[in-house]
Amino acid sequence: MRGGRRVWAAPLGPGAHRTARPPTLGYVTIAPLPGGLAVRTRLIDDPGRLIDLLPDAQNPLAWVRGPDGLVGWGEVARFTGTGPERFTEADTWWRSFTERLDVTDEVGTPGAGPVAFASFTFDDTSPGSALVVPRVLVGRRDGRSWVTEFSGDGPPAVRAVSPVRPTGTLRFADGMLPVAGYRKAVAEAVRRMRAGELEKACLAHDLLAVSDSPLDPRFLLDGLAERYPTCWSYAVDRLVGATPELLMRRTAGIVESRVLAGTIWPGSGDDLPGQLMGSAKDRHEHALAVDSLAAALRPLCESLDVPETPGVIALHNVSHLASDVRGTLRPGAPASLLELAEAVHPTAAVGGTPRDTALRVISELEGMDRGRYAGPVGWVDGNGDGELGIALRCAQLDGSVARLFAGCGIVADSDPEKEAREAAAKMVAVRDALEAEA
């Protein structure tokens, strides 16, 4: 037990899988660490497309962008936590875990050695934040490929491949907040902003997609990665998505972030980039998001480069205003990726301004638990390096049901009908990938 949280470890057999509540038998707490547990990273020949290596649909783990990234399977250990200290507790557990390992790293690059895939809830009170340590991981970066494997008292890892299952026929149903309710929530948020209560709130709604058979997260992951190769496609604990927004990358003492806010979509007329750059509403929304990130990072950085003017990134379904922020950490500042995540989450890109007021308004007007939607998702290695995106354009898979999410940044000039159309345009990413033919 650490900080009032019980941490569970998977048995070291092949195909280890964890449900939200551990079964009575077959699982032990992570302390003490299983004896003789070692991890080795070695170079390998190019393994081909990383997503194609994922062996089964139980709990595939992935963080890929184009040809590079990380995929993993099996489960050595996991952390789960809830509450405002979940990032700190996860960081403490991860440091303790890695310090006890016998590590052989023959590659020496971020993502080599022990790695945990990470997914955190948006809200402090939501359950489900987790670090998952895969038994086997395959990575590729800058033309080099490697495999990381745990060994110990258990049997050797076995990669039993099962065919990817296409989705089949889908039926759609309202989630906890239907579109009509979303429009009302947006209208109320706008009223409060015009009354001076707050400047921005990022409101979301959900949609259920129901299949006749259990959904295979690899099918959705593959479809998203194919359609959105410049996004970070991810799968952690059956939360599957492709995010264009990078919350934080840490490489030694350098931190980087890609902030997105302000959106336009096909059907909005000609010259979409020009319209977006010329929109006072979208530029204001974007500036609030950038300012909130910069304000959180400045006390931690000895230098911080914040662009004065955003650019535009164009995706298959929408275009966004984007700013890439880069800084050098101050000596003695929070050192690890998870500590940085605690410092900046949630930015105004997915929360609002002022933060505390916006979070209260989101909770009141949405009336639903977002779970891990809009929370940090990605990976962290034993040096505290890694990448965390914001879990956007995603679905939480549960058996034959996928819960899809989409949201928009709401400011005083927002129009409820237009914001509902924007959310629908964002949801196209997951809907198309789910409904694609095999």
Tokens standing for 103?
């590590």
H/E segment holding residue 114: none
User: Active site includes 245?
Assistant: yes
**H helix runs in 256-373, sequence order:** 272-277, 280-297, 337-344, 355-366
- Which residue type, as a one-letter code, is found at position 429? A
Can you tell me the distance from the alpha carbon of 3 to that of 10, in angstroms, rounded to the nearest whole number? 20
Helix residue spans in 6-85 (DSSP H): none
Q: Are 412 and 194 in contact (CB under 8 A)?
A: yes
Catalytic residue, from 89, 199, 200, 285: name it: 200
Residue 349, both tokens: 């890109």
| Catalytic entry in 75, 89, 199, 245 | 245
Q: How far apart are CA 305 and CA 288, in angstroms?
A: 16
Catalytic-residue membership of 281: no
Kindly report the length of the chain: 438
Give the CA radius of gyration of the chain: 21
Element (H, E) at 435: helix 416-435
H or E element in which residue 16 lies: none
Distance CA 438, CA 55 (A): 17
Active site residues: 200, 245
